[in-house]
A and B are shown apart, each in its own frame.
Chain A
Amino acid sequence: MSVALWVVVPYIALTVFVVGHVWRWRVDQFGWTTRTTQVLESRLLRLGSPLFHLGAFAAIGGHVLGLLVPKSLTEAVGVDEHLYHLVSVSAGTVAGLMVVAGLGLLLARRFTSPRVRRTTTRADRVLFTVLAAVILLGMTATVGKNLLGGGYDYRATIAVWFRGVLTFRPDPGLMADVPLIFQLHALSAWALAAIWPFTRLVHVWSAPIAYLWRPYVVYRRRTPLGVRR
């Protein structure tokens, strides 16, 4: 059971994530978009989308710090457990609140604006459900355990297990005694990874950073097929 949840599930999700992206990139460039709905409803989006996105970036950054950077490393640069806990809980709570508020607004407009509602696809419904689950479980864990509760040092268990999954040395034993709420949060996140390539979330990989140094006006000349500049 433990192997199924903490080894098989992650690798299935990761496989679907990778293969799904490659497949979609190759067959569905036309569908690779944010599928913007701002023309249909602007008022709530103007508030909700920046809240959600900025919160999400902060949360993602926090996860990278918490999961990928080993505890020994932060301690080596002089960040002790107390300081780490203080920063991660406070920043995590703020980011989490932004994400929750933002997602709340985005969901509200999907329900209250008939125009947005009609353009909502099946993929959107699945995405918003899973996304909401991941976020609410994560918030409950952060607020319930780490802010109000006694605190849980996930860097000694979950983070080590997560790095193990990524480096193909998974140790399911590490997850056995992790509090249920953290376990559920991790499982829901794998679900999100598995549906990711089939939803509008693919827009994340198209973040247009190259725009910062590109010449303003793009010309395309008749060139042999496939060659573009």
Chain B
Amino acid sequence: MRVMAQVAMVMNLDKCIGCHTCSVTCKQTWTNRDGVEYVWFNNVETKPGVGYPKRYEDQERWHGGWELDRRGRLRLRAGGRGKRLLSLFANPNLPDLDDYYEPATYDYDTLINAPAGPHVPVIRPKSAITGRDMAITWGANWEDDLGGAPEHAPADPNLAAMVEKVRMEFDKTFMFHLPRICEHCLNPACVAACPSGAMYKREEDGIVLVDQDRCRGWRMCVSSCPYKKVYVNHKTGKAEKCTFCFPRIEAGQPTVCAETCVGRLRYIGLILYDADAVLDAARVADPRDLLEAQRRVFLDPDDPEVAAAARADGISEDWIEAARRSPIYRLAMRYRVALPLHPEYRTLPMVWYIPPLSPVLDAVTGMGADADDPDNVFHAITDLRIPLEYLASLFSAGDTGVVAGVLMKLSAMRSYMRARTLDGSVASDLLESAGMTAQDMEEMYRLLAVAKYDERYVVPAAHREDAAALSAQVDGCSLDGDGGPGMSGFHPAGVTGRRGDGRVGLKLFVGRGGAA
């Protein structure tokens, strides 16, 4: 056993209202620069929907993540090492800008400079890439709230596996929002695919980063990540990705996206895991066993043997203590209501989700029944094949039993707490059906419903004595170099906001690249 610590996140999807505050604050922090105009380390997509980039979940097309070869060994889905080196010259699996979207800005100068006249001046959208006039026809969440869904949503790869097709009619459909960041996987396909060894997983907290000084622009990480959470900066020609806001994590603070989430639906905490068990877990034969396999990799921080092994592996006492208070461990392991996104990609993702009960409740109400009656909800959960199958294709490799179990638990919690609050009665039948004690049930309720800042975010600071070395590891994060944050917004030449060339680095190598 080799104990390692990982900062992980859980998002409670019932609470996401799709406001995009997380996306916007992340963008302001990390990708408000030339070259990454189209990049959203955090994006929020509407489901059912094709997502960002379009149909990223269709691994038949993009060949992201891992698969098992005939002898049951793990192999990147894009092929063996030799094959991928031979496809360096042109990557057959790389999405292009139109699979994301062409970012736009406006020629704001017109507003300021238009001569006085009878009409209000009109500004036009300009491509942030080419500076030319353009029509805006797609975006990172074009299908917001199912906009255009009748036309686009049937292309959602998750629907392909379903027996009955979701009807995209206004009154018969369901929807929810799915905020996505990098999963900081235990078995990261991006790292494994990087030919230069520029991508790495930090041993102390599991954050996956790109060394900007070592990246050579082979762009294999971009296509190998099944979640499409590594991006090409088309100005620097290097890869960039969600950093899990490592400078904040090192200081003991939550990520920007979590900190600013208005729904307070994100949780951050530590997971102790057995690094030696990762590969075996990732190669279990049946994709539906991956969830349990991954759970077995996680270690119980309250187990004295685990704590001793963690100490022996150099994990400090305050980190072990933080792991004991981790909301992630409680949600994923104790209450077992959090599930990984697409475990079948075999990367062992570490941002998990509590599946939304609301599509089911909406459907119950839609049928004219009372969504507060647990019996109705229980029946709906098992009878409503469509939301259940859909959620299962996202969170449990198609195993509807797993998702139904979680939804039953959430529904039981609602009913149990209602009874407790209204007349103080204890619905022991509900406890029994959920397989939980009264104390667990109330603690879970507290964590999901009223948890305060320090219960939602249990982030131990990096050790002072190590902090300098940690930051120094990332010599050249995406902040450095030409086009670092604060150097510019993205505006095509000639449009307000164009900066003087305040670049650092070597003038020789940057001409009109991007909008510099």
Contact = CB atoms under 8 A, between A and B. Distances in A.
A217 interface: yes
Interface in B65-121: 81-82, 85, 88-92, 94-97
Interface in A29-73: 29-42, 45-47, 49-50, 52-54
B191 A217 contact: yes
B469 A225 contact: yes
Interface in B448-476: 466, 469-470, 472-473, 476
B191 A118 contact: no
A224 interface: yes
B511 interface: yes
Given A208-B85, A217-B192, A219-B200, A38 B511 contact: no
A216 B191 contact: yes
B364 to A, nearest CB: 44
Interface size class, chain A:
35 or more
A33 B216 CA distance: 4
B214 interface: yes
Given A33-B217, A35-B237, A41-B96, A216 B192 contact: yes
B203 A30 contact: no
A31 B214 CA distance: 10
Given A36-B237, A211-B195, A211-B197, A30 B480 contact: yes
Contacts of A118: 129-131, 512-515
A20 B170 CA distance: 64
Contacts of B199: 218
Main secondary structure of the interface of B (DSSP, over half): loop
A33 B513 contact: no
A223 interface: yes
A224 B472 CA distance: 10
A133 B507 CA distance: 25
B511 A42 contact: no
A25 B511 CA distance: 20
Contacts of A217: 187-188, 191-192, 201
Contacts of A34: 216-218, 237
Interface stretch (B228-236, B288-296, B378-386): B228-236
A33 B195 contact: no
B201 A219 contact: yes
Interface centre among B89, B203, B222, B472 (most CB of A within 10 A): B89
B90 A208 contact: no
Contacts of B237: 33-37, 200
A114 B131 CA distance: 9
A138 to B, nearest CB: 21
B236 A30 contact: yes
A214 B197 contact: yes
Interface string B198-216: 0111111000000011111
A8 B212 CA distance: 38
A50 B91 CA distance: 10
Contact of B217 (A49, A121, A203, A225): A203
A211 B466 contact: no
Nearest to B480: A30
Given A33-B236, A38-B219, A222-B466, A114 B130 contact: yes
A219 B213 contact: no
Interface string B113-137: 0000000000000000111100000
Contacts of A27: 506
Contact of B85 (A31, A212, A220, A223): A212
Contacts of A225: 469, 472
A198 interface: yes
Interface string B491-516: 00000000000000110111111110
B425 interface: no
Interface centre among A27, A122, A198, A210 (most CB of B within 10 A): A122
A171 interface: no
Given A34-B217, A118-B131, A123 B509 contact: yes
B216 A211 contact: no
A194 B343 CA distance: 51
A28 interface: yes
A40 B82 CA distance: 26
B196 A206 contact: yes
Contacts of B482: 30
A28 B232 contact: no
A49 B201 CA distance: 31
A141 B510 CA distance: 35
A218 B200 contact: yes
B90 A49 contact: yes
Contacts of A123: 508-509, 511
B218 A219 contact: no
Interface string B327-357: 0000000000000000000000000000000
A15 B234 CA distance: 32
Contact of B513 (A49, A121, A203, A208): A121
A35 B35 CA distance: 11
A54 to B, nearest CB: 8
Given A37-B234, A41-B96, A50-B90, A28 B505 contact: yes
A224 B203 CA distance: 14
Contacts of A218: 191, 194, 197, 199-201
B154 to A, nearest CB: 25
B15 interface: no
A74 interface: no
A41 B197 CA distance: 26
B235 to A, nearest CB: 7
B355 to A, nearest CB: 29
A169 to B, nearest CB: 34
A222 B222 CA distance: 26
B481 interface: yes
B213 to A, nearest CB: 4
Nearest to A210: B197
A132 B320 CA distance: 61
28 contacts: A29-B213, A30-B213, A31-B506, A34-B217, A35-B236, A36-B232, A37-B234, A38-B91, A39-B95, A46-B92, A114-B130, A114-B132, A115-B234, A118-B130, A118-B513, A123-B508, A206-B196, A208-B85, A208-B88, A208-B197, A208-B218, A211-B197, A212-B85, A214-B197, A218-B191, A218-B199, A218-B200, A221-B203
**Which 4 pairs between the two chains have the least Cβ-Cβ distance?**
A35-B237, A208-B195, A121-B511, A33-B217
Given A36-B232, A36-B237, A122-B511, 15 more contacts: A31-B505, A33-B217, A33-B236, A34-B218, A35-B236, A36-B218, A39-B234, A118-B512, A120-B511, A120-B512, A208-B196, A211-B197, A217-B188, A218-B194, A218-B201
